[in-house]
Structure 1
């Protein structure tokens, strides 16, 4: 798209996003449910477009991990519909009072949540991700610019058409949402810092780094998903095997699937044969260090394996001498995404929780729980490994900013300065009740 035309399109979207941010929760919830109903009704057309995308991707020799992400099955449809309905049931994130303080008689301060504004979402070939993104941006009152992977272009186009059709009977309209089609549009939006408030890239490590290095717009997300499962000396081994199996095979193309299993040497001989047998049931290829290869059949470790994100039925197994050695390994080779300990020792779990510096740190459960829907967030726009703003699965809270509001009754700062300044009260007030947005008096 020509630069001027794209700029005009984004600026129009920004103006309409402001209208969305001032809409009522009832209006936004009604539209979410209308979208869910329309997606279900029009699924045959969506499935037809998706089948064409899948056939084209296979003809182009795309990796099986991408094909799995690309397929928009009835199961993924049902999960998307459930997510839309769950988002509709969540509390309104707009206008939520974070702090309320009486600065002085007749001078009330509130910190209130507001939408970020316009979000640019550049994501991989996952049509269900588009639905999650739209649902969260609609609920949170943010305008959304979508650019999906070219492999899903037919599916994404139909999905956006269906969503826009759902908006026809809504007072909110459909101008808060737009889908970009050209790869060249990505480079253009990277320079639109005056019109776009946040970029969320989801894709390869190289692509995410490219976005971060070529824009002055704030970027939220993660590049790698190198997740670890540590099986402690105090682990229940049957439990450990099933958690490992699920963490790798339930959806190996996901960023929260494990890529390395760390095994304490004291349980290695008892654990590894059974673990290898269970993983072989799903045709998982195992890479192991020398100690692991002495106990089970595995491909000998090569330099770089610990840093590899396989995204398929393939993983590493590494033997460690201690909990601390496992934590050190995760710190050196992990991506601060999701890491798990399997142990029946409460102190070991507490140590792991405290010292593993990742967005999601679990004990005795699958890494695959690192998901906005499973967290009860309704959906997610992605998982962030950042420490400023949102971290972990990014749901509604991650798409909100705040404003400080003050309502006074004629106060001026000079009253509170000078030789005999008036003193502030700074009285903390309850967060319950109506806010300044609803016309509360002071």
Structure 2
């Protein structure tokens, strides 16, 4: 299908929404920074003003979700991600305000190059256009994505999981109420989709939707990728590892293991496998096992780990490739840094990997050789997050190799255009035996450019 002939297979209601979003994106792309920042401030204020309504809606979702968990229709991890409270809502508001304070990524000159006298090339940032974001469980994702879309001048259509419907509707109502307080901000830039059927319809709108961002399980992301020709930015499982090296500080290793696993086990940046060097295992493993069990973690170990801690549940091959998103941890003993890296490369999802060691050479090898979006030394894997990175928020974490990679914030939602300004310049003058030479002179400031 050509770019100039977008699909029209969706129902008329969805088409109207997408076309409205596209018209809004054309306006937000050229809005002054202060208008977009005012919109973000109004959104943050509205979230606080409507806190009680939002939390009441979330309680409705939680009541329904609790029954789904009992019936086995919803995982405990999904239920944990669904829950909102006053503290989490305050964090969401802080995220919106942090996005507002970030430098404007739109309209930046990335390159100004004088090809010849009076012939100037500029590479300048612009919004992507219309985003379709489909996510499971976490209603706070709606606020993060909406804030980033407004800051970058994009329109966004959001589809949350059915388990979060009431929460998403209440959050979207608050955000839209805030935007109405900014007269210059176009209506239709933030929209919520509520029907499952709309996902399939949205995926057919190549030419009207510029990017699809799925947030959920690896099977869900694969389904999206396989059923659309629209570019997709998604990540697979968050199968993360912590490797405790032979030269690790034992106390630090225990603390980092606890934080990486138990601080929020449902997150995609929580560890699922703990790798332990054989030399440090007799000192580290009993302490780590005791601390983890005090936090309620179910532990599964390979035969060598079970020699040290006999009551570990035997780990199977499946455990090395499972994202539990729960208080379950698999432990494997290794004989070298090479073996640890090889295990991570075989089973990891290229999300976030960490090493605990006081050996600077080993640490640098790990950082250089492990292929993941985030590679950490003596730090919890839970730091892999757009807010903690100072991005304000994230639309998702990309584990693909092509950029954007890792937590995708503002810079991942803008593209660029090459703009060329001349004075009647002809390519013919730069070809042939008497070709005029190019200057190709980079300049910081060119008269007449913003």
Q: TM tier, shorter chain? A: over 0.9
Q: TM-score, normalised by structure 1?
A: 0.97
Q: Does 1:35 align with 2:52?
A: no
SS in 2 for 1:166: helix
- Tell me: CA distance 1:44–1:204, structure 2 relative to 1, closer, same or farther (3 Å): same
- Tell me: CA distance 1:238–1:434, structure 2 relative to 1, closer, same or farther (3 Å): farther
Of 202, 227, 237, which residue of structure 2 is paired with 1:224? 237
- Tell me: CA distance 1:108–1:315, structure 2 relative to 1, closer, same or farther (3 Å): same
Of 74, 79, 85, which residue of structure 2 is paired with 1:67? 79
Which stretch of structure 1 is more off in the superposition, 382-391 or 327-336?
382-391
- Tell me: CA distance 1:56–1:326, structure 2 relative to 1, closer, same or farther (3 Å): same
**Matched-pair contact (CA < 8 Å) for 1:232–1:342:** yes
Q: Does 1:408 align with 2:422?
A: yes
| Aligned 1:25-424 pairs, distance under 5 A | 25-61=33-69, 62-170=74-182, 171-296=184-309, 297-424=311-438
Tell me how far apart the structure 2 counterparts of residues 435 and 124 of structure 1 sit (CA, whole Å).
47
Tell me how far apart the structure 2 counterparts of residues 212 and 74 of structure 1 sit (CA, whole Å).
36
**Matched-pair contact (CA < 8 Å) for 1:100–1:108:** yes
Which stretch of structure 1 is more off in the superposition, 245-254 or 60-69?
60-69
5+ long unaligned stretches in structure 1: none
Tell me how far apart the structure 2 counterparts of residues 415 and 114 of structure 1 sit (CA, whole Å).
32
Tell me how far apart the structure 2 counterparts of residues 343 and 271 of structure 1 sit (CA, whole Å).
13
> Aligned residue pairs: how many?
436
**Matched-pair contact (CA < 8 Å) for 2:148–2:395:** yes
5+ long unaligned stretches in structure 2: 1-8
Tell me how far apart the structure 2 counterparts of residues 242 and 6 of structure 1 sit (CA, whole Å).
49
SS in 2 for 1:263: strand
Deviation at 1:406, TM superposition (A): 1.0
Q: Which residue of 2 aligns with 1:18?
A: 26
Q: TM-score, normalised by structure 2?
A: 0.95
SS in 2 for 1:254: coil
- Tell me: CA distance 1:347–1:273, structure 2 relative to 1, closer, same or farther (3 Å): same
Q: Which residue of 1 aligns with 2:13?
A: 5
Tell me how far apart the structure 2 counterparts of residues 127 and 240 of structure 1 sit (CA, whole Å).
33
Tell me how far apart the structure 1 counterparts of residues 10 and 424 of structure 2 sit (CA, whole Å).
51
**Matched-pair contact (CA < 8 Å) for 1:231–1:342:** yes
SS in 2 for 1:60: helix
Which stretch of structure 1 is more off in the superposition, 246-255 or 171-180?
171-180
**Deviations along 1:246-302, whole A, 9 cap, x unmatched?**
000000000000000000000001110000011011110011000001111310011
Deviation at 1:388, TM superposition (A): 1.5
Tell me how far apart the structure 2 counterparts of residues 221 and 233 of structure 1 sit (CA, whole Å).
35
Deviation at 1:63, TM superposition (A): 2.3
Tell me how far apart the structure 2 counterparts of residues 220 and 434 of structure 1 sit (CA, whole Å).
38
**Matched-pair contact (CA < 8 Å) for 1:287–1:315:** yes
Q: Does 1:426 align with 2:440?
A: yes
Deviation at 1:434, TM superposition (A): 8.3
> How large is the Cα RMSD of the aligned pairs?
1.3
**Matched-pair contact (CA < 8 Å) for 2:10–2:205:** no
**Matched-pair contact (CA < 8 Å) for 1:372–1:380:** yes
**Matched-pair contact (CA < 8 Å) for 1:97–1:435:** no
Deviation at 1:169, TM superposition (A): 2.3
